Amino acid sequence: MRILSCGSMFKLSRRMQLIYDHLLPGKPVWDFCCDHGYMGLNAYESGLFTEVHFVDQVPHIIERLEQRFQNEYFREDSACQAFFHPQPGGALELSIQGSVVIAGVGAHSILEIIRSLTEKGVLSADRLILGPQRDEEKLFVWLQNLPHFSYKSDSEILAIDERGRNRKLLIFDKIL
């Protein structure tokens, strides 16, 4: 299903748009390693999701993003709530549901975040959308061998050309 961005203020890159198009409407969105936060801000603006969580390990990135959000994007009448987490993704202790995006970092970083969250039993995302900078196939295999990682093994791998570089997104759905 394709989600139309209504009046989104950022034109997302093709890679970010492909990620955005795979978010599950009506559920929370977790934007791990969010940096600029464009994906999560678009998700908030769309009004299609119940919550948007911004996670980045660099505190001033989250501080600036929250400030910007409060000044430019927060709407009192929005049905979507925004949360800001200035901490490493793997350190979260909250229950994580809905769509989880971890993109733009190395495959090892993604693996470590997922390892930590699954070990604690807090990761019960309906969909995981993973966009490592490289080593996508390796990440796919590592995850299949990760204890406590119980997602569908016939997951989708989407290829996207970004500025002449072939990149891939791994999409895992929860086993029902």
Ligand X SMILES: C[S@@+](CC[C@H](N)C(=O)[O-])C[C@H]1O[C@@H](n2cnc3c(N)ncnc32)[C@H](O)[C@@H]1O
Which residues here bind ligand X, judged by CB under 6 A?
32-35, 55-58, 61, 88-90, 103-105, 109, 113, 131
Shortest Cβ 39–ligand X spacing (Å):
7
DSSP code for 167: E
Nearer Cβ to ligand X (61/139): 61
Between the CA of residue 144 and those of 25, 72, 91, 99, what are the distances in Å? 26, 41, 22, 19
DSSP annotation string for 62-75: HHHHHHHIIIII--
Nearer Cβ to ligand X (17/109): 109
Between the CA of residue 127 and those of 23, 63, 67, 155, what are the distances in Å? 8, 27, 29, 10
- The single-letter code of the amino acid at 176 is L
Shortest Cβ 81–ligand X spacing (Å):
20
Shortest Cβ 54–ligand X spacing (Å):
10
Shortest Cβ 175–ligand X spacing (Å):
25
In sequence order, what E strands does the chain have? 29-32, 51-56, 81-86, 99-103, 127-131, 156-162, 165-173
User: CA 93, CA 90: separation in Å to the nearest integer?
Assistant: 8
Nearer Cβ to ligand X (42/57): 57
Shortest Cβ 69–ligand X spacing (Å):
16
Nearer Cβ to ligand X (79/91): 91
Nearer Cβ to ligand X (39/48): 39
Residue with nearest beta carbon to ligand X = 104
